Structure 1
Amino acid sequence: MEIMDRRELADFLRSRRERITPADVGLPAGPRRRTPGLRREEVAQLAFISTEYYTRLEQARAPRPSREVLAGLARALRLSDAERDHLHHLAGAPPGPPAGPSIEVRQSILDLLHRLPQAAAIVMSATYEVIAWNDLAAALLEDFSALLRHERNLVRRVFLPPHPLERRLYGLPDADAFARTAAHHLRAAAARYPDDPEVVGLVAELLSGSEEFAQLWASHDVHTEPTLRKTINHPLVGPITVNCDVLDITDRDQRVVIYTADPGSPSEEALRLLSVIGTQRMDVPG
């Protein structure tokens, strides 16, 4: 353990708190707000700690925070990876690997999704949770904004589908191949995040609810060949064949999946039609 620098920690927490607006974390600004950024009690609430303890941290009077407290503060204050590491060093607790998969998407990646108007694109976490998407992806696959967070997980979607078998995974004829790939990637993610309750819970849910997943899990395989081309049977416009390219975001353990159609193909025309249909029938944030 390193030496805790209480004064630097207090100043760092205060500076991070003051840069965040209530709107950034979904809180109302309210009248008579005298302090820039968040109030101390708001940070404490978001970090699941007492206001008294957080106040003592900012006054350089608190004992060393636990790793659980530091993780809560990092989430509440929306710290970057570098800031999270700095927080741990100031608290005298050298940072370890992230407890769980990151679901925070960099703004530059969100901007990239919007700059791909002729391509459907999503961002997935290490556990196949869809954490960002553009309008065309919502029209091609599903209106993710209308789903609860746990329903946006594609591993859960393929093994515990809420739809008829023919729509197991958006009508993909190779849904079985996707299932194998997803199970193998999830095993690797579970090894990277062995203490994350969401990862542990997801694996337990799949093991108890899907014999197919249980068999794949028992194989202990962690590598599969990528699928570079898919055909999606869309309920409105029919089959759409797309190229599937994956860009790894290694520092966040995330992947950007981009679906494009061959130029001049019927599938390209179908994507163009979907871009119009999608914007007319759903309101999907990027």
Structure 2
Amino acid sequence: MINELKNNAELICIIPAAGKSSRYEKSNKIFESLEDREENGLDVLNASILNINTLGVVKKIYIGYDDSSKDFCEFKEIINNTDSDIDEAISSEEKLAIGLFKKISFVKGGNTRQETVYKCLQYIKSFKSDNENTWVLVHDAARPCVFPFENLEFINKTIECDTSSIMAIPISDTIKKVDAESKISQTLSRENLWLAQTPQMFKFNILYESLKYCSDNNISVTDDSQALEVLGYKCRVHMGKPYNNKITYQSDLSYAKCIYEHMYKSLYEDGEN
């Protein structure tokens, strides 16, 4: 497990998870289990948290949550009521769980992803004024299928380049523009077009400045890198993976379960043999 980053950088993570899962048309997707064969299988949110935390480089995890969600309030209560001391834990798994729980803080989210990330930054800035060497990793709660070693490669490359970065993949399918009647009006060139993913990583002060400007000027953005674009900051793309998919619809969950099962075997079961 790695505990230090290049250039003595400090890394914190924000997981915006205050969405209503309206397109999922069922229960809150981030509390869906990824392990059908187990009664209390790991859910989407916990899998995303574990994948971010596994390598040990993230100092603190801030989860922007929906305080009207019963599931989230129960999850928050479990985390906040973990009073056990790591030294008193019985097993190594218990020590890891307690250590992870102590890293997590909850921040009441907003009506949009943009508002939730900004609220988390405001909360951090309220008690931590010196963020010159602090980087922020923003990761979707509903994107559980990214390997930890891919995260580490992305994190270290971002710090090495000293430039904001996002995971993304180039578009390979043909892109069609349609009109209000669902008729094709144009075929768009896919040259230089990429699909944005998460994690996305930024210097704390740059991300805060960008989201504050957007908030103050009522500018809506659909991801954090777009906020940087508004102020003219550059952001690089880091080659992601097609399986780092965001769960949006119910059909996405079946795909994520297959990928996660493969991930689990690769990371844990193979290492035990």
What TM bracket, shorter-length normalisation? Answer: under 0.3
Structure ranking higher on relative contact order (CA contacts 8 Å, 6+ apart) = 2
Structure having the larger proportion of residues in strand? 2
TM score, norm. by length of structure 2: 0.26
**TM-score of the pair, normalised by structure 1:** 0.25
Bigger Cα Rg: 1
- Considering fraction of residues, name the structure with more helix: 1
